[in-house]
Amino acid sequence: MQIKYSRDAIKFLDKQSKKTVERIRKAINMSTLAMDTAKLIDMLPVDDQKFAYEFVKKLVLAWDPDFIKVTPEEAERIKKAEESGFVFESEIDWDKIGR
């Protein structure tokens, strides 16, 4: 999986401490457990995949009912970030990002 960061995001990250940058990077990258779960679900027959998806969706909705919504401010920040351009994670020298 290739992760892309907006140029605005990189500017933001560069103003953060190294510890904060590392925490953010860990949060962005899908956990091994989540990736393994997705691979397992993909091995199921289509009907069972749909069932597994709906089950996980119910768990997430129970935990955070608004997971698909963004505030107007978040939507504006997303739009601005998308307009700033993107850089692939592999092209970023993480040793030079953060303070």
- C-alpha to C-alpha distance for 99 and 91, rounded to whole angstroms: 19
pTM of the model: 0.43
What confidence tens digit (pLDDT) does each residue in 50-65 have?
999 999 989 878 877 7
Confidence of residue 3 (pLDDT cuts 50, 70, 90): confident
Confidence of residue 68 (pLDDT cuts 50, 70, 90): low
| Joined tokens for residue 12 | 């933001």
- The pLDDT, as a whole number, for residue 69 is 64
The predicted structure's pLDDT at residue 55: 94
Residue 83: predicted pLDDT? 87
Residues 6 or more apart in contact with residue 70 via CB below 8 angstroms: 78
46 CA to centre of own chain = 26
What's the rounded mean pLDDT across residues 26-45?
84
Q: Measured between alpha carbons, how far is 19 from 14 in angstroms, rounded to an integer?
A: 12
Query: Any long-range contacts for 60-63 (C-beta under 8 Å, 24+ apart)?
Result: none
Q: How confident is the model at residue 25 (pLDDT cuts 50, 70, 90)?
A: confident
CA–CA separation, 76 and 13 (whole Å): 19
Domain region containing 26: 4-96
Compare 50 and 69 and report the one with higher pLDDT: 50
Domain total in the chain:
1
